Structure 1
Amino acid sequence: MRHTRLAENLSVGEIGLGCSSMSYGYGPARTAQDHEESARTLRRAVELGVSVFDTADVYGPYTNEQLLGEALAPVREETTIATKVGLLLRPDGTLERNGRPEYLREACEGSLRRLGVEAIGLYQLHRVDPAVPLEETWGALGELVTEGKVLGLGISHATAEELERIHALFPITAVQYELSVWERRNLAEILPWTWKNDVGFLACCPIGRGYLSGRIAGDELVAGDSRRRDPRFEAEALAHNQHIVDGIRRVAARHGATPAQVAIAWVTTHGDNVVPIPGTRRVRWLEENAGAAGLRLSTEDLRDIDNLPVAIGEKRWDEHREATAESARK
């Protein structure tokens, strides 16, 4: 796998690994057997050239960071761990935002301990806390870089205006947003902003939370799977969005590739600073995803993908996320 320059002084494998599903959000609580499978996947990822691993303290909570700290300890010098801070899991399963400087400092110490590192490669603000001035939050994170506890700062799902404000205060190394064939809205404003400011772009959910692989049906999702709350996975939306998968399959057939590989390769065409971080906890899907690194899409492929219909369910998904964000503010 070739390396790509995610940001200044940060070169990583062109495809990363999202690790949340190893501990959080996609079904029942993980067992010891699941833990071992995930550890094998992490070690195999390094063998394949994956070097950036995305996690968060809220995944588990805490167990995902512990898993990465243990599994990647022997190859720590070959990896960049990108963890996140700023969300807390309430007892009822909802999320609470916390951008208070004192909390961020305490949380950083916990992440350092669980990951077993002296400095976090990329420390990302998971969500902006509207109850705390953003400059105070970002200033506190900048202090962690100055102190050597963090090597670079990132942020997830901020507005372009918020990016401008904090980048002027302390440089952003990379941002993280959803980007895939069925979620293209960040191409309009956020991605051009990263090009202009020499900032990396971690593209989460490049396979559309698994849907673009062609292997996901809404009625097969188990209890506890967060996708059951995503309107894009409701029956009507899935029936319409199947046209998108069919189109990706046609492109994949030209290359002897899988739909998932085409979906990931499409993301990589949007700039040398863009690194997709597909998530999985299974070695077989990891190997398939990593195979996208050698796939180069043609002009015809890109035109055909661009002409695919827009996914339905996006508007209701926005409403769902806004409702979740409002809940987190309370």
Structure 2
Amino acid sequence: MAEEIFTVGGDLPVRRLGFGTGGLVGPGYWGPRGGRAEARELLRTAVERGVTLIDTADNYGPEVAEELIAEALHPYGEQLVIATKGGVVRTGPDQWHVAGRPEQLREMCEASLRRLRVERIDLYQLHRFDPSVPMAEQLGALAQLRAEGKIRHIGLDTVTAGQLRLALESVPVASVQNAYNLLERGSAEVLALCEERGIAFLPYYPLGSGSLTRESAAAVTAVAAAHGAGTGQVALAWLLHHSRVLCPTPGTGSPEHLAENLDAATIHLSPRELAVLDVL
């Protein structure tokens, strides 16, 4: 079976299959989805099932997901790692704007600290590079927050391999979040660089935003049938086998779907099955 634990930033061991909170907010990442009590219970269930990495962002809701995490899980267990993101301002469903000026990043980080009820954020990820602000200024703002003890580790979201190399010349980067899944591997160069540098890669849309379960190839269906599993579970199992640095954090608002996702960690794909899936 694929290695279950990855150590983020060299000092934060997490179970590689985590939980993303995008499914706890409404369509377009706007407003709540369903009742807050149900969302809090889902978060608690995820942790009870052994999840130690929870991925969120200040603009999920906005603010809703971070508030729910604190309501459900604070005070946090020693093994629980909360990763959040800043650098994007959401103004409506599916409406967002990059905001990477140093003063904006500081304000966002400090607001997340208050909502999550912590003095230091384990993993703070820049949601997007702001093209109107020099990269050095954005990374410098995060480095300063880290020096002040408000951030433990810095991560980057949606970057090219070239941007990651440049960033690594300025700051230690503990994680990357790019789209990556069984059928979408455009960030293969970024993944290779993460493997080389020991950087966690948190693939967003690990299930292809649902496309893998709706339009899965015959090969995926066959592998799933052999394991008595769903195609989405096979897609997650493939990520866990594909690279030791991949740490998928699929999100959902359904207790049943949460259980299915977490059970994917128990699926052992044979070398033959991996070969079939690798060429898709």
Q: Give the TM bin, normalised by the shorter chain.
A: over 0.9
Question: Percent identity over the alignment?
Answer: 39
Amino acid corresponding to residue 168 of structure 2 in structure 1:
H
TM-score w.r.t. structure 1 length? 0.80
Q: CA deviation at 1:40?
A: 1.1
Distance 2:87 2:31 in 1: 22
Partner of 1:11 in structure 2?
Answer: 13
Structure with bigger gyration radius: 1
1:161 aligns with 2:133: no
Alpha carbons of structure 1 residues 64 and 92: separation in structure 2 relative to 1, 3 Å: closer
Q: C-alpha distance in 2, partners of 1:105/1:29?
A: 24
Does the CA contact (< 8 Å) of 2:154 and 2:174 recur in 1?
Answer: yes
Partner of 2:122: 121
Give the 5 Å matches for 1:44-193: 44-90=45-91, 94-187=95-188, 189-193=189-193
Return 130-139 or 267-276, whichever deviates more.
267-276
Corresponding residue for 1:229? none
Q: Which amino acid aligns with 1:152?
A: H
Aligned partners of 2:93 and 2:210: how far apart in 1?
26
Matched, 1:250 2:222: yes
In structure 1, distance between residues paired with 2:124 and 2:238: 27
Quote the Cα distance in structure 2 between the aligned partners of 1:269 and 1:250.
Answer: 18
Tell me, yes or no, if the aligned pair for 1:6 and 1:275 is still in contact at 8 Å.
Answer: no
Q: Taking structure 1 as reference, are residues 274 and 28 closer, same or farther at Cα in structure 2, changes over 3 Å only?
A: closer
| 1:19 alignment partner AA | T
SS in structure 1 at match of 2:183: coil
Q: Residues 158-237 of structure 1 correspond to what in structure 2 (within 5 A)?
A: 158-187=159-188, 189-214=189-214
Residue 286 of structure 1 corresponds to 258
- Residue by residue, what CA displacement relative to the aligned partner does 1:151-178 show, whole Å, maximum 9, x if unpaired? 1000011111111111111100111111
CA contact (8 A) 1:5 1:273 kept: no
Output one character per residue of 1:199-220: Cα deviation in whole Å (capped at 9) or x when no partner.
Answer: 1111121111123234xxxxxx
Counterpart amino acid of residue 254 in structure 1: A
How far does residue 8 in structure 1 lie from its aligned partner after superposition? 1.1
CA shift, 1:75, in A, is 3.5
Change (3 A) 1:307 1:111: same
Q: Secondary structure at the match of 1:78?
A: coil
1:264 pairs with 2:264: no
Answer whether contact 1:180 1:267 (CA < 8 A) is retained.
yes
2:28 is aligned with 1:23: no
Q: Between the two structures, name the one with larger relative contact order (CA 8 Å, sep ≥ 6).
A: 1
CA distance in 1, matches of 2:82, 2:150: 13
Residue type of the alignment partner of 1:12: V
Q: 1:252 and 1:26, CA in 2 relative to 1: closer, same or farther beyond 3 A?
A: farther
Distance in 2 between residues matched to 1:30 and 1:99, nearest whole Å: 26
Amino acid at match of 1:57: D
Relative distance call for 1:76 and 1:115 in structure 2 (3 A) is farther
Q: Is the CA contact 2:212–2:232 (under 8 Å) kept in the aligned structure 1?
A: yes
2:70–2:117 CA contact under 8 A, matched in 1: yes
Equivalent position amino acid for 2:10 in 1: E
TM superposition shift of 1:74: 4.0
Aligned-pair distance for 1:49? 1.0
Equivalent-residue separation in structure 1 for 2:132 and 2:166 (angstroms): 17
d(CA) in 1 for partners of 2:93, 2:64: 18
Size of the aligned set, in residue pairs, is 278
Q: TM-score, normalised by structure 2?
A: 0.93
Change (3 A) 1:124 1:297: same
Change (3 A) 1:307 1:198: closer
The letter for the 2-side match of 1:204 is: Y
1:74-122 residue CA offsets vs partner (Å, 9 max, x unmatched): 4343311111001111358521111111111111110000011111111
Counterpart CA distance in 2 for 1:264 and 1:109 is: 33
Sort the Cα spacing of 1:2 and 1:192 in 2 relative to 1 into closer, same or farther, 3 A.
closer
* 1:258 to partner: Cα distance: 1.5
Is contact 2:98–2:128 with CA below 8 Å preserved after alignment?
yes
* CA-CA distance at 1:18 after TM superposition: 1.0
User: Match of 1:303, as an amino acid?
Assistant: A
